[in-house]
Structures are given as structure tokens and as C-alpha cells.
Structure 1
């Protein structure tokens, strides 16, 4: 019987349980389905599509090496599964579990209903240390238990499926013909082989200042792993990455260097912790965790546009947005600052803020992204509303303004500290700020803090007692 391997955000050949298990049972039909609705309704943009295409090209080369084809289909998943069924008969379906918003969750419910009706066996495999159990709360021991399951080998001499009826007419290049919003970037190239190169560079040298530069916008680009896009699209297995980290830790003697890599290792656990949240609540991009702050924010188009384009008049904010548009990546501290500034000072709707940033983040991972957007918008009922002082942030993390000068060259003739607050100069050489920062900061803080302190019980997304 034909074994269909439904490729989603797992574009690799190593540690790929669905691929390996399928290879043990029959003819293997590896299939990537690009569903246009995800690019119409999700935050995905041209940069994500380009990364996917590059990943598929790399994966095709890997499949060629072991004698497997790679089929591509543009359209509805149920339609192509029905076509395979009608043309070649009943098949078995294999895929990794997908942990996303209601868009992919509801699509999976449709496919599940179809497989039951057609008596097609669909086996889903864990891609992360995330559990598919209603109301499950994540624990460190669950992550380690998943790690112990071991690495799945690359299939040896798999039997390829032959499409004698020529039902697959789309090619990888056809994906690039789709009309998708946004602009491409060249800083990251998709693919498992690229991810492996990045990982090697990190373990060889980059990790040595990982924790030291982690919050520095101009330096973190040289010390961070930059592996997040490769995890987000499944070019790399987080289990293999964790085991590689442990292997390198055993070889390090210097306590300082060991500390740097241990800090990285902790973030691999937190990755799965946040993904577990969206597995529990796929509506995390739509419904606030704590609803007390709902109705306070309202997206005004002029402020929305200024934030999106990096023209707010505040250098550190605009520099971060320009870097995102150029590279698709900034460090976590600056991401948090941007989300907080837009949601808590400009008072833009947190959903709109999440959509803007998600379309720029090349490493958009729904569980991590929407958990952090809600956190920075003060929607975690157990935490305060984070109000970042962006001028203080400039002094702390870009004290020589090297990042601002790099991203906003029109300010290169303004010295520190004036470059952090050019609107205070007699002749402002930069864009006039879209708000009066000091007064708006205090106004927003008062509104949000008063709402946060309310004792009134509100519905909680996670069903917890507050």
C-alpha cells in the first residue's frame, strides 16, 4: 500500500519519523502541500515562501540521493488526498503533529474526518516535546522524556512511489508564482544543509559570547545561533540540536564558555514550553489570555503605518523595524521592546502588532510568537504590563549607537546621546515623532495599570482561577 508522507513544517531528511516509518511499510510518496489560505489569512509573507522553496530544493536533493521523489501540490489538502485515493486507491498517511493557530487546527480536523470516512489510516508523530492532551501543562520532565526517544535514522533503500497517472503537475518553482504579500530577504537561506552549516558555525565559535551579547542589537547578530528559522520550518530537529549541545558541553572545560552554551540549551526547553500553549489553545492569536485589557487599545492607521514602516521618529524603534525588514531577525530583547512599545504606548491592538511582526520574523513559530505577543501586551494575568523606556533601552543596549547608525545612516552625523532623542534638538534632523513620548507613556501606563488592578473576575483563556 502507498505510504503518503505529508510534509509540513518538517522540511528535512534527518530525524524524520513519518518518513522513516513510511519507508518500512511500502511505496513512499513524499508530498508537500502549499495551501494558499495560509498565506491569505496567516502572517506568512514572501520571505517565508522563499525560505520554504529553498528548503524544498534542498530536500529534493536529499531525496534524490536516497532514490525518493518529492511531489508538490498547490491547493487544498483534502482535494489532493481525494485525488490520490480516487486514482491509486486507499493509502496510509503519515505526518508530524502540527501545532498552530485555528487555521491549521481546523484544517486538520477536516482531514481527520476525511480519513475516518475513507478508512485511511493517519498516523501523527511528535515533532517537538509537546503533548497532544487536553488541558496538559508542560513540565521539564516531559521534554527530557521525549529526548530519550532517540534519533530516527534516514531511510535506507526506500521504495519510491511512481506517479504513472501524472496527477502531480505542480513543481517547486510554481510556488514562487503565488501572489504573496511582503518582500524577500537574502540574509537567511532555507534548507537542512544551510541549517547544519549555521549550527556548526555556532558550536565552533559563535556561542562563546552568546549570553554576553544576547541583548545587544549590533552584536547579538554575531553571537546568536540564528537557528530559529531552521527550527520553525523543521530544517533542523530540535532533538538533534539538543543532543549536539549536550555533546559540546561535555567537551568544554572553561566555566565561562560552558555557561554560554548552557544558556542556549535552556532556550531549547522554552521553545517546546511555548509551543505547548498553542497546542492547548489554537485561538491564542485571536483571544486574549487575560481579558481585562480588552477594549483599551484601538489601532489608528497612521500609527500602525509608522510602526510597520519604521518611521515612528524614535531611532531605536525604527532601527529595529528596519533591521527586521532587511534581515527578518532581531534578538529577543528588541522583539519584546517592539511589541510592548506598539501595544502599550502606541496602544495598537495586540493582534495587529502580532501580524506586523510575524510577517517580518523569518522564524515565525505560532506558539512562541503569540505567547510572547500576549506577554508583552500585558495579557498574562500573572504578570505586570511591561512598559519599556525606549530611551533607556537605547543607552543600555546600543550605548555607542552603532546599531542605530547602521540602520539609520541619515543619523550618522548626530553624536551620542543626542542620536537617541533627536527630536529634542533645536533642528531635528530626523522624522518628527508620531507621539509625545513622555505624555503618551504616562497616559498609557495609567490606563493599562488601572485596568490590570481591577478585581473584577473575567473569563480566562486557559480556564485558570485568578
Structure 2
């Protein structure tokens, strides 16, 4: 009988549960998992295309989360008699080299259908083909499998409501896969290797900020624990729809996105917990709404392979040439630093910079201010979010930014009245003053518009505009 060896190339699927690539590889006589920290993922680079600019791909928050996630994956594999080979090099060099060293028959991996990730995948496949090693590609990042859609991915509607209704009516969610039994692999032939530290990757080391809504500890164990605590222990799922627009505290939304986007949690596992919760506790608009949001996430994931690079272009999938985007470095820098003089925008940007996270409501308003009020190229903001977010996902991030900027999905005007939004979602100013303590003495009805204070009122409340807090860039 022929002896078989399979390599599993982990990418954004850092889990052992519901992992098709790992499960399919586990039928081999030997299985060797591998992960590559690609230097390109942490360097500063050109965005590319018209009006290009430079930005850092991965900042300190997601770097920390990813390192913790890979360490947790290695531990979970070792508990099952396996191991994880770790290298700091490009996957197109690491994966074929490992496969060659252990005389592998196949390499299993999950595809990530964004242009940059696809380019890396294709490079790996070319090298494997030259070695006569079979490349086995799997799909595992969405709630609905791409093969189960009621239409070809090239025909996915560009409007979410149409997509959602079709999927809800004509597609089902596959059952989750269990954690497979893993045969040992020839790790001694190549050496397991050590995880790099942030500085080795060229990224500043940063610990979680105690002012944040959640620590966001990386790894499958932490992701499963967050799911358990939110759904069952805190029993917050029953009120998700009503609380999801909150700004302070760990319970206002599920906050599962970091674990979902790094692949520490399977979206099907989350859906299975929702189903179980509905069976055992309650089924209502909130339980449905979490699935609604997972399908929003799916919608963007399928938009990327449909539209390709145009999804990330300044003109967007609507190919709009009628917007005069500004190239204003000073305006961008003030926005990025949280120094616009508009408290609701600044508080959200301060939270992002300190913690790598902000609420969905905050993201929409911060994006709208840059793209619609300042008219700075929306891609600059999206790329800044890519650097900073602990829960960054290419499809969701750029899809939502393009949507807000008016160049993506949906043709409606998505400009936000930031002050009105602030009054609605932070009526007492608690969020703004949490992140901007210099405004802590302002009355609630003025904290979102400090520029309306007279000189005397500024003196009374200890805030001098232009000294203690910036003058607004734009009068809203």
C-alpha cells in the first residue's frame, strides 16, 4: 500500500474545528501543517493603480492578534499529536520547500479570493506543479459555501437585499466539520521553527489598551470562549439587534469579527450556536439579525471574486469618474490622528489607534467624514483601516468603504450627518468623553459641537478651541 504525506498550508483558517483543508488532509498517513509569516504582509508598500500612495499593510494590533492565533493553533495541534511548522518567509518559497523536504503527495489550503492573496496562491501552485505535488484548494471562509449559492459567483447581485433573499430562499448552510484525528507528521525533517516577534516582522510591539471594549486575545480557544460567553453566559444574543449600535462596553455586539476574519472561528460554527440557542432559549429578530450580518459578510466575500481588482479601484465597481477626490495629506493626517475638531469622529479614530477596534457605527461615520465631508480619496481611509484594524478583512473593509464613498454597492447617497449620528448614538456624550477626556466638562448638549461655545463658555468649561481641542476642519 502506498504511503501518503499531506501538507496543510494554513492561511486565514487558524483553527482545527470545521476546517475542510485539515479534515481532507487528515486521511493521509502523515500530515504536516505549515504557516508562513510573509514579510510583504507587514512591510510598507504602494497601494497601486491610479493615484497610488504608500501604506503599511499590517499594524501592531492585528500583528499581535495573529501571533497569538498562530501560537494557539500550534498548541492545539500539539495537543492532538501533530505540530505546526512556522517560517518567516514568502509562502511561495516556504510551502514548496517543506513539501519537497518531506516528499509530500499533496498540499491542502483554503483559498482567499482577493487579488493579492490569489496571486500568492497561484505562485505556490506553480511551484508545487514543478515538483509534481498536487495542490488541493478548499473554500472555508463564508457561511454559505460558494458551490451552494443559487447562482454562479459571477452572477451574484450587486445589491445585498437581492442577494440575501435569494440565498435565504435557495441555499442552505452546510453542517460543521468536527475536529479530525491527526496522524503525526515528519516535522523533524524540517524543524518546527520559532514564531517571530513583532519587531522581527518590522512592527511595533503593542499590548491591548485597557480603555478598549475588549482585549481581543488571538486564537481559536479565545474565539470559542468569546462565542460561549456572549451567547450563553451573558445571554446577549436575545438583544443583539437592539444593542448592536452601542459604543461602550464589551456586550453591545458580538465582537466576533476578529476571530472570524483570521479564521479562528468558523462562521458555520457561529450559525450552529445561533440555531442551538433558538432551540433552547429564544428565537427572535435579534437571533435572526446575527445571521443577517453573517450574510452581509458573505455578500462582500463573493463580490471580490466577481469584480476582481475593480473592487479596490478609486472609481469602484460603479466606475465613477465624476467625483473629484482630493489629495490632501494634511487633511488625511488630521483625520487619521483623531484631530479633526469633530468629537464623534475624533473619539472613534482615537479608539481605533489605541485598540485596533471601533464599532460599526463608528466606522461608518469616520469613513463618511473623510470621503464625503473632506472628499479625501476613500482608499486612503480604507488602507488606514487595513493597517490598524484588529479585525481587518479585505472584502468587508473595502466593500464598506466603497459603499460609503458612493462608488460601491448600492447607488443611494451614503453620506452621514455626523453630528446627528453622535446625538442619536451618544446622547449623553459618554463615548466621546471616554476617548476625549479634555471635553469631559462640557454639557451633553454641547459636547458634540464644541465650536458653538462662546469664548466665555469655553473659559467656563476649561476648553479653549485651538489650544485644548482643535478647531473643526469642517463646520457641520
**TM-score, normalised via structure 1 length:** 0.86
Find 2:302's aligned residue among 259, 276, 300. Answer: 276
Q: Which whole-Å CA distance do the structure 2 matches of 1:160 and 1:383 have between them?
A: 53
Cα shift at 1:292: 2.3
Find 1:177's aligned residue among 200, 205, 216. Answer: 200
Find 2:217's aligned residue among 189, 213, 234. Answer: 189
Q: Which whole-Å CA distance do the structure 2 matches of 1:66 and 1:111 have between them?
A: 27
Residue of structure 2 in register with 1:260 after alignment: 286
Bigger drift between 143-152 and 49-58 goes to 143-152
Once the two structures are superposed, residues 96-131 of structure 1 have per-residue CA deviations (whole angstroms, 9 ceiling, x without a partner) of: 12133x221211222222233332211111112252
Once the two structures are superposed, residues 46-75 of structure 1 have per-residue CA deviations (whole angstroms, 9 ceiling, x without a partner) of: 211111111112112211111001110111
Residue of structure 2 in register with 1:286 after alignment: 313
Structure 1 position 309 matched with structure 2 position 333: no
Residue of structure 2 in register with 1:212 after alignment: 242
Structure 1 position 118 matched with structure 2 position 144: no
Find 1:58's aligned residue among 72, 86, 96. Answer: 72
Structure 1 position 234 matched with structure 2 position 270: no
Once the two structures are superposed, residues 12-64 of structure 1 have per-residue CA deviations (whole angstroms, 9 ceiling, x without a partner) of: 11111111211112211100111111222463212111111111121122111
More helix by share: 1
Change (3 A) 1:171 1:355: same
Change (3 A) 1:145 1:80: farther
**TM-score, normalised via structure 2 length:** 0.84
Change (3 A) 1:382 1:393: closer
Find 1:320's aligned residue among 340, 344, 348. Answer: 348
Bigger drift between 105-114 and 400-409 goes to 105-114
Once the two structures are superposed, residues 129-181 of structure 1 have per-residue CA deviations (whole angstroms, 9 ceiling, x without a partner) of: 2528662416456578875432222122x22222344x346312446521126
Q: Which whole-Å CA distance do the structure 2 matches of 1:197 and 1:85 have between them?
A: 34
Residue of structure 2 in register with 1:154 after alignment: 179
Residue of structure 2 in register with 1:163 after alignment: 187
- The answer to whether the 8 Å contact 1:38/1:103 transfers is no
Q: Which whole-Å CA distance do the structure 1 matches of 2:380 and 2:207 have between them?
A: 21
Q: Secondary structure at the match of 2:137?
A: strand
- The answer to whether the 8 Å contact 1:99/1:367 transfers is no
Cα shift at 1:388: 1.4
Once the two structures are superposed, residues 339-366 of structure 1 have per-residue CA deviations (whole angstroms, 9 ceiling, x without a partner) of: 1110111111111010112222211111
Residue of structure 1 in register with 2:388 after alignment: 360
- The answer to whether the 8 Å contact 2:347/2:431 transfers is yes
Cα shift at 1:209: 3.0
Structure 1 position 437 matched with structure 2 position 471: no
Residue of structure 1 in register with 2:25 after alignment: 22
Q: Which whole-Å CA distance do the structure 2 matches of 1:293 and 1:249 have between them?
A: 47
Q: Secondary structure at the match of 2:331?
A: helix
In structure 2, list runs of 5 or more residues that go unmatched.
46-55, 158-162, 210-214
Change (3 A) 1:145 1:34: farther
Residue of structure 2 in register with 1:92 after alignment: 106
Q: Which whole-Å CA distance do the structure 1 matches of 2:288 and 2:197 have between them?
A: 42
Residue of structure 2 in register with 1:34 after alignment: 37
Q: Which whole-Å CA distance do the structure 1 matches of 2:16 and 2:137 have between them?
A: 17
Q: Which whole-Å CA distance do the structure 1 matches of 2:291 and 2:112 have between them?
A: 23
Cα shift at 1:208: 3.6
Q: Which whole-Å CA distance do the structure 1 matches of 2:409 and 2:170 have between them?
A: 30
Equivalent positions of 1:342-421 (< 5 A) are: 342-380=370-408, 382-421=410-449
Cα shift at 1:326: 2.4
Bigger drift between 27-36 and 181-190 goes to 181-190
Change (3 A) 1:231 1:67: same
Cα shift at 1:182: 8.3
Q: Secondary structure at the match of 2:370?
A: helix
- The answer to whether the 8 Å contact 2:32/2:187 transfers is no
Change (3 A) 1:234 1:182: same
- The answer to whether the 8 Å contact 2:38/2:89 transfers is yes
Q: Which whole-Å CA distance do the structure 1 matches of 2:248 and 2:83 have between them?
A: 43
Residue of structure 2 in register with 1:8 after alignment: 11
- The answer to whether the 8 Å contact 2:428/2:444 transfers is yes
Change (3 A) 1:359 1:291: same
Once the two structures are superposed, residues 269-298 of structure 1 have per-residue CA deviations (whole angstroms, 9 ceiling, x without a partner) of: 111111111122342223512232465112
